[in-house]
Amino acid sequence: MTVTAPDPGAYLDHAATTPMSPAALEAFVAEARRTGNASSLHSAGRAARRAVEESRETVAAALGARPSEVVFTAGGTESDNLAIKGVFWGRRRTDPRRTRVLVSAVEHHAVLDPAFWLAGHAGAEIVLLPVDGDGRLDLDALRAELAAHADEVALVSVMWANNEVGTLQPVREVVRLAHQHGIPVHTDAVQAVGQVPVDFAASGVDALTLTGHKLGGPVGVGALVARRDLPLEAVLHGGGQERGVRSGTLDVPAIRAFAAAVAEAVEHREERAATMAALRDELVAGVRRAAPEAVLRGPDPAAVTGAPSSGTPASSPARLPGNAHFTFPGAEGDSLLYLLDSAGVQASTGSACQAGVPQPSHVLLAMGVPEVEARGALRFSLGATSTRADVERLLAVLPQVVDRARAAGLASPRAVAGGAA
């Protein structure tokens, strides 16, 4: 009897999660075979502690940081919460005037939600910094806010690269402006590490978030890289692990796999980024041919405007090499997503869903995209395992998918009501 393997389809959602690399998987399995709590003093515990500290050194070396600056966490969301809440509380402890938290309007919800939680529970004042039509931070707005309220600002948080439209932010310029007033800067670099150059020390940021499953490591592990002198209050309390700011038994197999993935992603970043960018350009050109009305959101990959303050050379493109984000007029993103999935292509709408009700992307709305257009969004994201066959499969099915989604949109109550939500 012959068993036919299932068609794996085309996976174009690496920004959501990407496969574990062989090196990370091997490291995970090898460490998982051992027993030992890294906080125990016996030989098994010391062996586990050694694996953790070697992993800490590996991550630090890959990111231009000191080992003592690497705090292991359960992933990007925890790291962002620790940075936003921890720095806010740390700064307010010594200066109660520090109530303002400045974040870009296009941050991931792992930054926005803890910031607004502080507003509702801890007296914070949240300032959403505007962006331009490509999703890049308006530095003049930041400059004006600092000029007017510097003595009240606890911290600034601006992501290194946007998770939806791939825009690189002027992180170094943000640091320069904030540090003139002694204000610490946090950056969510979850999407950036392994795709663009990320150097903690050279960037000047005070805290940086990364996670394992976006770069070839396991889900459920990440790190906050934070300067030792950064005022940082704990969010989790217990055994006092990780400098006393992140209690909890360390997941040694996950940490070792995470370190292996970070090292591999950074070591091979340049050639992988070049491959992804070439595939991305083919994808963008192909989508424009297959659906001429589709609108590319974020910086045009053909532009050489650069983002010199983010740590990338001035001649580098201003968006992530593996990101292509489109809106399709007359089509709902969810319809496009499900139709593509039925055709063997997995992508993302890039929009948030609250209580099961699709909402237009806050990123696109902040960029000035009308709500009715923002509802027709699709994000295609490439990774280390992406191939030309993945792109070709998408382009082969896309025209029919767009036609069907538009037909469904014309028949929907929202279309009859003129797109009102």
Active site residues: 353
Given a contact cutoff of 8 angstroms between Cβ atoms, the answer to whether 219 and 75 are in contact is yes
Q: What is each CA distance from 60 to 48, 158, 210, in whole angstroms?
A: 18, 21, 12
CA distance 413 to 389: 37
Nearest Cα neighbor of 250 from 223, 211, 232 is 223
Give me the residue label for tokens 């036609």. 403
CA distance 399 to 330: 13
DSSP state of 242: G
Exposed/middle/buried for residue 420 (C-beta within 10 Å: 0-12, 13-18, 19+): exposed
Q: What are phi and psi of 340, to 5 degrees?
A: -65, -40
CA distance 300 to 321: 11
Q: What are phi and psi of 312, to 5 degrees?
A: -95, 150
Length of the chain counted residue by residue: 421
Report the 10 Å Cβ neighbour count for 173: 18
